[in-house]
Structure 1
Amino acid sequence: MLPDRGAQPGALSRVVLLGALILMLSMGVRATAGIFMTPMLQEHGWSREFFSNVFALQNLAWGAGAILMGMLADRFGGGRAIALSAMLYAAGLIGTRFASTTPELVVSFGLLVGVGQGGTTAALVMPMISRAVSPMARSVSLGVANAGGSLGQFLVVPAGQLLIDVFDWHAALLILSASIASIVPLALLMAGLRRPGAAKTGAASAGAAPAGAAPAGAAPAGSAASSLQSAPAASEAVPSLWGAICDAFRQRSFALLAGSYFVCGFQLAFITLHLPAYLLDNGMSARHGAMAIATIGLFNVIGSFLVGWLGSRYSNKMLLGWIYALRAVFVVQLLLMPVSPFSLYLFSAGTGLLWLSTVPLTMGLVGQIFGLRFAATLGGFVFLSHQIGSATGVWLSGRSFAASGSYDTMWFASIALALMAAALAWMIDERPDRGRTRPVEAFEPQRAASG
């Protein structure tokens, strides 16, 4: 996926706003899984462990879908890949509404929804935005788009609970599937906003670029903007997709990014699915569970804007490490304080500031270190690690609850893993890779300037 030569400079360009809207719908509906679990289990007689296993499968399908759709995006364009994913996502939700057997739920809620999410979330939307804005605006733009996903969590989860209360969970799922279907025209419109003369996606648009002076203006060391200004030798060959993947897999920083993102997925999936049930187990209402997830989303709007701004000024790996470390602090706070509305919303607000703030930093580091040529595909592989972590988190939480009747083990594991992820993030070498994955886009500013 090549950067557009006609990239829009503003962080609030139409491409960014459309990307934020797509993430708002996709991530908002995604966050409702926890509020649907209890009524679905009560009607069908399924166990909490079984639902956790299906949700774990969904997370793996999400990760695999991110790679598949990323490859399609790098070959045929991001708009088409996102539109196809939205159709699969909506079909999966409709199938979930009518699922009455365990295989039907596995196929609809596990596979179709998972693959659909893979192509409608950050792994595809973020690279499209990265291509559409100037390097100096990239970090802030990704933060703005990421805030859309957080806003969706804040708006859609309470709306979903309201729909369940007013109608039932069957009608609520159908309404949410219609909202996901609306992503299709948004994705096609987003893809059609490229300016005349912009580089096209695919190998045909690749080519050697003349060497030249560094782009005007300097950014702080370690920031996304400064790293994008560092370029390899122009004589290096343009890589194939497979060559780019092999290069990335040989890099220590790629493994560190994937490892830290595994922890992010572990924590987010566990909390998204099981926090409402944890609160019910401790005497709080279902509405508190929905509002806790919504509060996390609201505060992550603030966190996303803040991280986007900080990411353009400071080291992205250092910011990423501190986010993981602070997550551990707020889990400790939840465990030490008695479960009450005050302790719950304090945890939700603090966790919310850090919730999806890892996304623009992690995806920004992928492009910063390995370049934008195959950013959707490489980002998909990193995201697969996130989804393996998600699947592990929800599977272990279901097993742990079945064995002990509590989530204590999972909370302690979340603390330890958060501290480990902080250490991994701080070990990343965020300087641009000098391998085969960067030569085209690194010189895009010079190529555009030279006509």
Structure 2
Amino acid sequence: MSTAKPAYATSLKNPTLYVIVAAALILSAAMGIRQTFGLFIGPFSFDRGLPVTLIAFAIALHNLVWGFAQPFAGAAADRYGAAPVVAFGATTFAAGLALAAAVPSSLALIVGLGLLVGIGVSCTTFGVVLTAVGRIATPAQRSMAMGIASAGGSLGQVLMVPFAQMVRESSGVSASLFALAFLMLIAAPFGIVLDRRHKDAAAPLAQGPTAVVSLRATLAHAIRHRGYRLLTLGFFTCGFQLAFIATHLPGYLALCHMPMGLGATALALIGLFNMAGSWACGWLGGRFRQQHVLGWLYLIRGATIAAFFLLPKSTLSVVLFAAVMGLTWLGTVPLTSGLIAKVFGTRHLGTLFGVVFLSHQLGSFLGAWLGGYAFDVTGSYTLIWGATALAGLFAALLHFPIDDSVGAPAEPAHA
């Protein structure tokens, strides 16, 4: 009884607490900035004469590039530490924003917001940043620590969306993108803190199912693991839902003749409520089976999307929708990464989460791009709203039967 409390306190002292704070600041910058992209669809279309489909494709492409780059970014962080990966990613991210701001062309938009931002985000978000938190936290507090870091990272969405809107309205699209690029560069030095180690927190790294197993054997074991495959398929849904809403909600609300600026307010509210939601999901993941929490989360999200689309639109309904979506927004990340760490250990967590996250980003690409494509073809978002709601049920059915039992893989030589 007396040892339980000190274990909890130790896990959130000094190095661990510093890592959580640094992770939250980096996530705030990276995730907050990418959540502003939906605000630029209208201005890019009207001011630069670019079709909505192309702008949506550029935003969707960064999700796709992020997904394919994430396993490599995670593997680099596993091998070399988070600091150099975060520094490289922040610089690349900022360069992509600056290119899109400085060169008003389709190619610059695709290379900047698509390719460079995608690479940058892969190095400055979950697969690198949260896995650093997962390594330094004790197993008992890992889910909670990741949830706190994710919750703190949501502060960026609360602040960045209104900031980008304010600069855009006062100084134009280019100035807004340059300002965001500068903020991304400021976040780079916090990557140094992620590589801190503490003797009490480092101990779990020498334990667990993957402590003495190579990456190749761990990947082979994960591919054979039915739960890992289901988790990978389910995370596709999360990406599809979030990317569609983040990219197209402001435009959809404008079509519904909602007040100007309500789209930016809704995105900021999603970030605000995500702070509570990420913390709550981390807390729940430490007390209940994480796959069951994920299943209920997807059911709630799908039902909320269906209700919002089918019911009459008002400022109140938009605010309520943003609040519930925020509570279920990024809580999937600490739960998913925590479940991977529970089953496979933390030694190759960055790589294993990166593979699962690739599925998430394939969904993100389709959610962002199909939203723009469906609108250009049909003049409506109806089909995509329906698909987004049904995807919640699909994901829930995948997550509830996941087996989270821990089994150590064997090296090929001993098989």
What TM bracket, shorter-length normalisation? over 0.9
- 271, 274, 284: which one aligns with 1:310: 284
Quote the offset at 1:196 in angstroms. 6.8
Secondary structure in 2 matching 1:428:
coil
In 2: Cα distance, 1:14 partner to 1:75 partner: 21
Quote the offset at 1:194 in angstroms. 2.2
In 2: Cα distance, 1:425 partner to 1:433 partner: 19
Count of residues in Structure 1 that have an aligned counterpart in Structure 2: 401
2:129 corresponds to 1:125: yes
In 2: Cα distance, 1:433 partner to 1:170 partner: 52
In 1: Cα distance, 2:374 partner to 2:310 partner: 20
Secondary structure in 1 matching 2:373:
helix
Structure 2 letter corresponding to 1:400: A
Quote the offset at 1:241 in angstroms. 1.9
Give runs of aligned pairs for residues 277-292 of structure 1, distance below 5 A.
Answer: 277-292=251-266
In 2: Cα distance, 1:97 partner to 1:358 partner: 32
- 388, 397, 405: which one aligns with 1:423: 397
Distance change >3 Å, CA 405–CA 313, structure 1 → 2: same
In 2: Cα distance, 1:395 partner to 1:186 partner: 33
Q: How much identity, in percent, do the aligned residues show? A: 40
Greater share of residues in helix = 2
2:64 corresponds to 1:90: no
Quote the offset at 1:170 in angstroms. 0.9
| Alignment partner, residue 6 of structure 2 | none
| Alignment partner, residue 335 of structure 1 | 309
Distance change >3 Å, CA 345–CA 86, structure 1 → 2: same
Give runs of aligned pairs for residues 165-180 of structure 1, distance below 5 A.
Answer: 165-180=169-184
1:238 and 1:436 in contact (8 A); partners too: no
Distance change >3 Å, CA 189–CA 398, structure 1 → 2: same
2:26 and 2:187 in contact (8 A); partners too: yes
Quote the offset at 1:161 in angstroms. 0.6
Quote the offset at 1:243 in angstroms. 2.4
1:299 and 1:353 in contact (8 A); partners too: yes
- 64, 71, 76: which one aligns with 2:68: 64
In 1: Cα distance, 2:392 partner to 2:258 partner: 27
2:387 corresponds to 1:413: yes
Secondary structure in 2 matching 1:173:
helix
2:82 and 2:194 in contact (8 A); partners too: no
Structure 1: unaligned runs, 5 residues or longer: 1-6, 201-205, 210-230, 438-451
1:49 and 1:398 in contact (8 A); partners too: yes
In 1: Cα distance, 2:247 partner to 2:350 partner: 27
1:60 and 1:387 in contact (8 A); partners too: yes
- 160, 163, 184: which one aligns with 1:159: 163
In 2: Cα distance, 1:33 partner to 1:436 partner: 45
Give runs of aligned pairs for residues 9-408 of structure 1, distance below 5 A.
Answer: 9-10=11-12, 13-191=17-195, 193-195=196-198, 238-408=212-382
Distance change >3 Å, CA 345–CA 430, structure 1 → 2: same
Secondary structure in 2 matching 1:246:
helix
1:237 and 1:436 in contact (8 A); partners too: no
1:8 and 1:132 in contact (8 A); partners too: no
TM-score (norm 1): 0.85
In 1: Cα distance, 2:223 partner to 2:252 partner: 38
| Alignment partner, residue 5 of structure 2 | none
TM-score (norm 2): 0.92
Secondary structure in 1 matching 2:148:
helix
Quote the offset at 1:249 in angstroms. 1.3
Distance change >3 Å, CA 420–CA 189, structure 1 → 2: same
2:270 and 2:327 in contact (8 A); partners too: yes
1:65 and 1:116 in contact (8 A); partners too: no
Distance change >3 Å, CA 429–CA 340, structure 1 → 2: same
Structure 2: unaligned runs, 5 residues or longer: 1-8
2:138 and 2:201 in contact (8 A); partners too: no
What are the superposed Cα offsets for residues 359-378 of structure 1, whole Å, 9 maximum, x if unpaired?
11011111111111100011
Secondary structure in 2 matching 1:70:
helix
